[in-house]
A = this chain, B = another copy of it.
Amino acid sequence: MARRSSTDYDPLIMSRRIITSIDVARHAGVSQSAVSRAFSSNASISPVTRAKVFEAAAALNYRPNRIPAIMLSGRSGMIGVVVGGLSNPFYAFALECLTVSLRAAGFQIMLVHVDDALILDAALDQLASYRVDAIITALAVGTPEAARCLSELNIPAICFNSRIVGPGISTIRSNNSASGFRAARIMQECGVVRPVWLGGPVRNAASRERRRGFLGALATDNGTGKSVTELQGDDTYESGFTAVREYLRQGHRPDGLFCSNDLMACGALDAFRDHGILSCPEDVVVIGYDNIPQGAWQAYQLTTFSQNLGAFAEVAIEILTEVLSSPDVAISQKRMIDAELLVRGSTMRKAPVSR
């Protein structure tokens, strides 16, 4: 398949496709400037001329061109959104919430998907060349390279659940550590004596914070000093399934499991079921994080911390509005959004199912 760059098309061919303001002016019998003024909300133009222009525009299916305004103002009205791992329903939903909020606030979205923060550099260069007004990333990673890339761009950036810091970089985070603390308290209330922590990749800052809160609370547990087993996954369903299956095969019988995210928790629950440990919470108490739709499915009924992604998106718009109207390019904000505990069957005795 022959691929060509998107820039080497013949402009003459293009001119056959797109109706310009010149076409509309000719059709309406007015000047091109009259067409521009007709589509500009605060320009002066007579009602008769405006009506002529709109009639011609409708007849020709003309759409006003945003590009000249971008040239003049340096503002594209586009926000670069950088995501990775849409196979995690949490990130797919984060993108959906962002898309809805940004459009409501009058922005367009230029989407970049990266598999790895290591290739963030090239992606950001491209976003910069289109003069995006700001960049929002919902990547789980926060490498020093990513921070350097973002700072050097001189474009305001907003990062979700990341510990990236730097001039012009704002962050919106879940109260990960406090939620970990709360997960430990629930385990204690359920009488858990063999607690297990299932964490994500080491470079996932949110996972590290959740672990710190969880282990911290258990360590200060009235000096009873329950030792916590730590298992390691990579934030996928499969890694949660495998980690717990191997642990059970070694003969261990955990009675409480806090997972750094819901995908791994679903995998863990399937590993328990596969091992004949069907009864939740009688045999084992499981808690996740994120509130992905699958956690609510009948097979899982997962207690979890819901990250209010609607609120994340709203706060992102607030920060954008402030940052884009400030003369200070290095402005950065840190905002925290409380996660909400959703109690389901994995920590709570089920009501009998009526048939």
Where the two chains meet, the residues of A that have a C-beta atom closer than 8 Å to any C-beta of B are 1-7, 9, 11, 13-19, 61, 63-78, 81, 86-87, 89, 92-93, 95-96, 99-100, 103, 105-113, 125-126, 128-131, 133, 152-155, 237, 241, 249, 266-267, 269-271, 273-275, 293-294, 297-300, 314, 317-318, 321, 324-327, 329, 353, 355
Contact = CB atoms under 8 A, between A and B. Distances in A.
B129 A7 contact: no
For this chain, the copies found in one complex come to 2
Contacts of A131: 18, 65-67
Contact of A92 (B14, B89, B324): B89
A100 B113 contact: yes
Contacts of A300: 299
A306 to B, nearest CB: 15
19 contacts: A5-B106, A6-B77, A6-B105, A9-B73, A11-B72, A11-B73, A13-B325, A16-B329, A17-B154, A17-B329, A65-B131, A66-B129, A71-B71, A78-B130, A87-B293, A99-B111, A109-B110, A111-B111, A267-B298
Nearest to A263: B293
Contacts of A108: 110, 126, 130
B317 A3 contact: yes
B107 A109 contact: no
Contact of A353 (B15, B81, B274): B274
A67 B130 contact: yes
Contact of A273 (B1, B11, B298): B298
B325 A9 contact: yes
A140 to B, nearest CB: 15
Given A106-B6, A113-B100, A273-B299, A87 B93 contact: yes
A292 B229 CA distance: 32
A99 B83 CA distance: 10
Contact of A3 (B87, B106, B299): B106
Nearest to A1: B318
Given A67-B70, A70-B67, A110-B109, A87 B89 contact: yes
B7 A64 contact: no
Contacts of A95: 86, 113
Given A71-B71, A294-B294, 10 more contacts: A6-B106, A13-B326, A65-B131, A67-B71, A67-B131, A78-B110, A89-B89, A108-B130, A111-B111, A270-B297
Given A64-B129, A154-B61, A14 B105 contact: no
Given A61-B152, A63-B153, A298-B241, A7 B92 contact: no
Contacts of A7: 69, 73, 75, 77, 106
Contacts of A14: 73-75
Given A18-B131, A249-B355, A99 B78 contact: no
A271 B298 contact: yes
B237 A75 contact: no
Contact of A13 (B111, B327, B353): B327
A113 B99 contact: yes
Contacts of A96: 86-87, 113
B314 A15 contact: no
A20 B170 CA distance: 25
**Which of A72, A299, A321, A326 has the most C-beta atoms of chain B within 10 angstroms of its own C-beta?**
A299
A15 B300 CA distance: 53
